[in-house]
Amino acid sequence: MKGILKGYWAYFVLVLLLPLGLACGALSQWKAPFDMPTWWVLLIFLLLLALGLVVARKRQQQFLPPAPWLWLLTLLAAVYDCSCNIGAFNALGQLPVSIFMCMGVLCLLWVLLRYAALLLWLPFLFFQIAQIVSYEQYGTRINSLVLAESMEASGEELAAYLSGNNLLYFIVAVLAVSLMGVAQVWLMRRAKSMLSLTNAGCLFCAISLVLGAAIPSHHRDDDFYWPTLAAAELGSAAHEAVCHNQATVRQVESLTSPALQPSAISTLRGGEGVVLVLHIGESVRADRMSLNGYERDTTPWLRQQTSLINFTDCISAAQDTCQAQIAILTDARRWIYETDPAMKPTTGSVLELFKANGFSVYSFFGRRVGQQLKYDRVVRLLTHCSRDRFNAPGSPWTALPQIESVLKQSAAGDNLVLFVNNEGSHTPFYHYNHENPPFTPTVHKFENPASQAVEVNNAYDNTIHYTDEYVRRVCEMLKGRPFIYVYVSDHGEYLGHDGIWGRAALGESKFSYHETDGCRVGMFVLTSPEFDAQHPHFAQSLAQLRAHAAMTVGHEHIFHTLLGMFGISTPFYDAKLDLCSPEAQPYSGTKPASR
């Protein structure tokens, strides 16, 4: 042992014994060791160290790399840890634990993969820097749901984040990681032997585990062992993101059409010319609509409509567009990861029941994303019964001529369903009249939004005002026909509330989605006088709907309310979720405690 430590006394005293002493000072609060699998990992490292000692003596080789080399390795690992580990400074004693683990991983990866280790290590470091930037700018850490949403994001949405500063961050991160890679290659090539490098890797991983065990259990977390657990979590998140998108598609693909079961409509026989507009909006918070008391007049036209039935407390099922669409169009009550089978969908889209009962269905979407993971596939599966489907290539206003064309080409007595799902108030908050915006100044680049909070919020409010105008224009086209316009947004947005931005609760933010008012979304119903007078059932249903306007409702009510409104009987109908029924019950899921 004396020969092994020769020349290393300063290194071990200053670099190893000091943090070990600090950690052992916490032993008075130590309650439990780490779990059994970690003990087995420590035992394996100790056995490898013993084997390395035997081989080094037999070959008369140096057991560890030279002490100056170890000093440089410690410095490099400290730079890695302090600049790339988001949890580096979260707790006393954590930094030495993660630095030693980083040193061990650097050595062992180089032994196993040599230069190929950089193909794993450098992208990982870049992602870790992105984690820090994401948390600082948007208040969230990146997890599987963020990755899943990124996989289906449109170019327009991604461009909102590729701003000047974010591009600069990207370039700086690439340069920093590249320099770290060069430093790593330079250092590893100067290790005396692969054996000494292996011994060093096992030694530092073992020290990290011992230090981690010395920290009180109530102060211990996964960030201690960076980068090992962080790399495992990243791989798991990427795998889960792909699985999430695939599972969402498979879930919809597995649903059988509700039209396969007997159904009948009691209110219409055909030829009445009734139009149902089902508009799933995008990212509209209820509290940013002047309908609901917001100080800015973001919904001037809607406020003046006497037939308006406004639901002030509507809870969206998920912060994920596809999951929200599933909850709205099917009999689902929650999202894909809900463990209760009673909350999951048992049948397909409600649009198919309308088609089976004499309605012609037309669908109008925003810009087609063009990817095959989730959004395009899910929305098209849910609307496959449409006679025709349209995409608005630019602003959602470009869909208005498409709607007008369908109305003109259809016979006056045709009963129609117009399904609308456009960008609305989605990031980057660009869709509004830029020639005469009601609220200025605005920005559309979602970089460090907290520093441009006024401009970002102005842009968002403009999109709500735009939605008000969009609804007005569609209703003008329908004037003189019996119609009902049902609007509900898919999810909300964070605009600096509670320090988070965008849909940050997708990630690991300090609040979950349903703990904040971001899950309260706009929902209202508009009707024409001709619709009210079309059938006594409609008038009664609307009266009951108005009576429930103050109730806490959710996406889960839409499927059954549409059936109840039109008197469509089907085995899938549930009167307790029909807001047109006196038996209707309020939303029963998680919601913010503020109301």
Whether the CA torsion 194, 199, 200, 202 is positive or negative: it is positive
Q: What is the pLDDT of residue 33?
A: 46
In 10 A of CB 339, how many CB atoms? 7
Q: For residue 477, report the phi and psi dihedrals to the nearest 5 degrees.
A: -65, -30
Q: What is the pLDDT of residue 220?
A: 56
Q: What is the pLDDT of residue 27?
A: 43
Q: What is the pLDDT of residue 301?
A: 97
In 10 A of CB 243, how many CB atoms? 13
- Please state, in angstroms and rounded to a whole number, the distance separating the CA atoms of residues 210 and 386: 63
Instruction: Report DSSP state, residue 281.
Output: E
pLDDT digits (tens, 9 = 90+) for 38-54: 677 888 888 888 888 88
Under DSSP, is residue 79 helix (H, G, I), strand (E, B) or coil? helix
In 10 A of CB 142, how many CB atoms? 22
Please enumerate, as own/partner, the contacts of 66-73 that have beta carbons within 8 Å and a separation of 24 or more: 66/7, 66/192, 67/7, 67/8, 67/10, 67/11, 69/187, 69/190, 69/191, 69/192, 70/8, 70/11, 70/15, 70/200, 71/11, 71/15, 72/187, 73/103, 73/106, 73/107, 73/187, 73/200
Q: Which helix (H) or strand (E) holds 391?
A: strand 388-391
| H-assigned helices in 162-261 | 164-188, 194-214, 228-254
Q: For residue 182, report the phi and psi dihedrals to the nearest 5 degrees.
A: -60, -45
List the domains of the chain with CATH numbers. 2-241 (no CATH), 270-577 (3.40.720.10)
- Please state, in angstroms and rounded to a whole number, the distance separating the CA atoms of residues 41 and 192: 26
Locate 593 and state its tokens.
Answer: 């405690």
**pLDDT under 70 in the chain at which residues?**
1-7, 9-10, 12-38, 91-93, 137-165, 214-223, 236-237, 239-241, 336-337, 367-375, 394, 445, 447, 498, 503-510, 594-595
- Please state, in angstroms and rounded to a whole number, the distance separating the CA atoms of residues 282 and 491: 7
Chain centre distance of CA 110: 35
Instruction: Report DSSP state, residue 135.
Output: H
